[in-house]
Structure formats: C-alpha cells, structure tokens
C-alpha cells in the first residue's frame, strides 16, 4: 500500500510526533539545515510539484527540500499545460508516473478529488492544500515552530492556542486544530461570524478578539480567503445562518476583520506578556496584523517559512521510505 500524506485528521498522535522528530533533525540555530549525510538521500528520485492554485512558500520550500536531498523536481501548473486543454488532474498524474515520477506534491481546489487521486495514483501523494480541506505540511511546520519557540520537545499540553480570522475558508485552520489538539493543546477559534465554521470543531469558539486572545500562549492570525468567499461550501447549506452568510458576502463583500486584527496596542493591552504570533502567510499587512507586530520579537512568521523546508525534507524522506 502506498503511503500518502493527505491530512492531519487521519494521523495518530504518534505519527504526528514521528514527523516532527524527523523534521527537528533539519533545524540548526532556528534555520533549516540539511546535514551533508543527507545531501544524496533522494538521488535518482524525481518529485513532481503540481500546483493548480497560487503558492509561494509551499511550492518553493518543497522544491528547496527536494533539491537539498538530491532529488530532481518537475513543476506543473495550470498555465501552459494540458489542464487548459481539458486534461484531468488524474490523467496528468498518471502521465507523470509513466515518466518515472516517484512522488507527487499536489495543490488543487477540490477537497474530494484529493482522496480519489491518493487512492488511484500508485505513487505517494502529499497534499499541499485541497481547497478548503487540509494543508498538513503547514500544520506540521506551525507545530514544529511553536514547539521550538516554547522549548518543548513533543507536547503542547497546558498550552493555549488561538486561531483567529477567516476560519471557515481556511485549510490551515482545519489542519492546525487537528494537530494542536493531537499534541495536547487547548485550541480556541474566533473570527467574524460569517467566517466561523458551521460544523463543530475540536476547539472552543470565542465571539470577540479580547476573549479569543486573553489566555493564549500563541495566536495564529489568518487572512480572509477572498478567493473562497461565497464558494460552493458556503452555498451548499440551507440553514438561516448560511443564507445570512451568502447575503453578507453579496451585500458587503469581504467580511470585516478589523475587529479581529492585531496591532501593537492590542498586543500591549489584550495579550499575555510572552505570547507568540504566527501566520502561515501571505500576510495582508494592516488587515489581520500590523507590520510593527509582524516584525516584533514575538512574531514567528519568518521562522515558520524557514521551518517549512525542514518539515518538507522530513515528509519526502518518510514517504519515499528513506
């Protein structure tokens, strides 16, 4: 059976910890690192990077990770490829496998399609974001960054983490709630009502910023996923709150995140003294977060980007059985 990484939901806490332990080897002085003994670990392997949605950090760090380990990479996006002629993502994957590709990193906007691809394509698939589904390597790198900053080896027991902003449209929020809960943290989510999930998550819900961040040891800020507002998932449901949400998006456009945004005054008056700030990027400065806070010593944002390389090195090695 081919091993895939489709999400955090299906992993046991021990499996999560195994990835984190493996990734930890690839950090030195809070920066990503590839020991010389690993520089040929994936020599002869070819990794395909299939990105049918925009990406900067995820795509670049997978490519850097693969190359650090000696692998070849091939990038396929939606522009100038046969996807534009109507070829399916499954057919694209199978043709790449026929060419000798050993592993596929896949970002695309259909939640369910990922599972079909994992089932039918005979090489490991790493989910690099499936619409509003999951983004497991982002969650792993966020957990790794936080554990490192807190000086903890493997558990977040006793730690309060708040995720605020656009929760319902965010695959990062979904994967983070799974991973932080599996590592023992207490998780709170909060954001404008129209950006809260309909289904119940393994997290407390806060209805205003002050309540959300007051006890937090770490706050993850998320941008409004404008590209997903009013999407099928928003429209699929028939409850009152859904029609309110659709009306809201139609009448007001983007939800107001102002009441949830974090600036120096908020940090000073509403947050714990040593609480950390995380953000998966891209940050829309001035909306969810001020630049001043983003550049302050409590911000782990650029460390997250660097740790992404370490996590992706660990994931590629694990799934290729090295």
> Which residues sit at the interface with ligand NCD, rule CB under 6 A?
57-58, 129, 135, 138, 171-172, 223, 225, 280-281
Q: Which residues, at least 6 apart from 235, have a Cβ–Cβ distance to it below 8 Å?
A: 242, 246
Q: Smallest gap, in angstroms, from Cβ of residue 22 to ligand NCD?
A: 21
Give the residue nearest to ligand NCD (CB): 280
Residue 172 phi/psi, 5-degree rounding, is -65, -45
Q: Which is nearer to ligand NCD, 55 or 186 (CB)?
A: 55
Structure tokens at 116: 């079909």
Closest separation in Å from C-beta 280 to ligand NCD: 4
* Least CB distance to ligand NCD at residue 152 (A): 23
Give me the least distance between CB of 102 and ligand NCD, in Å please: 23
Min separation Cβ 212 and ligand NCD, Å: 19
145 Ramachandran zone, left/alpha/beta (phi>0; psi -120 to 50)? alpha
Q: How many helices (H) and strands (E) does the chain have?
A: 12, 11
- The CB-of-86 to ligand NCD minimum distance in angstroms stands at 25
Q: Is 51 helix (H, G, I), strand (E, B) or coil?
A: strand
CA distances (Å), 152 to each of 106, 149, 169, 215, 247, in order? 31, 8, 30, 19, 45
Nearer Cβ to ligand NCD (53/211): 53
Calpha distance 226→231 (Å, rounded): 10
> What token pair was written down for 26?
């690839």
Residue in the block written with tokens 């102002």:
258
- Residue identified by tokens 């989510």 is 189
Q: Based on CB atoms, which residue is closest to ligand NCD, 108 or 290?
A: 108
End-to-end CA distance of the chain: 16
Tokens 């998932």 sit on residue: 233
Query: 102 or 134: whose CB is closer to ligand NCD?
Result: 134
Beta carbon nearer to ligand NCD, 137 or 188: 137
Of 25, 32, 18, 17, the C-alpha closest to 307 is 32
Output the smallest distance, CB 122 to ligand NCD, in A.
Answer: 27
SS3 at position 42: coil
Residue closer to ligand NCD by CB (options 103, 301) is: 301
């Amino acid at each position: 059976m081919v091993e895939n990484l489709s999400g955090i939901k299906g992993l046991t806490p021990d499996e999560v910890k195994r990835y984190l332990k493996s990734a930890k080897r690839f950090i030195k002085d809070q920066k990503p690192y590839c020991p010389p003994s690993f520089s040929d670990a994936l020599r002869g392997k070819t990794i395909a990077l299939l990105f049918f949605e925009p990406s900067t950090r995820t795509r670049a760090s997978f490519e850097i990770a693969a190359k650090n380990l000696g692998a070849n990479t091939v990038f396929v996006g939606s522009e100038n490829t046969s996807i534009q002629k109507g070829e399916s993502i499954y057919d694209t994957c199978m043709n790449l496998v026929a060419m000798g590709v050993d592993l596929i990193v896949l970002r695309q906007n259909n939640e369910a399609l990922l599972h079909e691809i994992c089932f039918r394509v005979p090489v490991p698939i790493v989910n690099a974001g499936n619409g509003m589904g999951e983004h497991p390597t982002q969650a792993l790198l966020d957990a790794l960054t936080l554990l490192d900053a807190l000086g903890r080896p493997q558990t977040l027991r006793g730690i309060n983490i708040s995720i605020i902003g656009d929760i319902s449209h965010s695959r990062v929020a979904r994967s983070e709630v799974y991973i932080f809960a599996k590592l023992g943290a207490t998780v709170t989510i909060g954001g404008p009502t129209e950006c809260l999930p309909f289904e119940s998550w393994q997290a407390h819900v806060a209805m205003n910023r002050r309540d959300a961040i007051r006890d937090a040891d770490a706050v993850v800020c998320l941008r409004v996923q404008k590209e997903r507002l009013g999407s099928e998932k928003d429209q699929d449901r028939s409850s009152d709150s859904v029609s309110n949400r659709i009306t809201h998006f139609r009448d007001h456009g983007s939800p107001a995140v102002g009441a949830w945004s974090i600036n120096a005054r908020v940090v000073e008056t509403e947050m714990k003294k040593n609480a950390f700030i995380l953000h998966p990027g891209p940050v829309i400065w001035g909306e969810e977060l001020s630049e001043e806070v983003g550049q302050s010593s409590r911000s782990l944002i650029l460390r997250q980007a660097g740790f992404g390389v370490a996590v992706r090195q660990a994931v590629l090695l694990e799934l290729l059985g090295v």
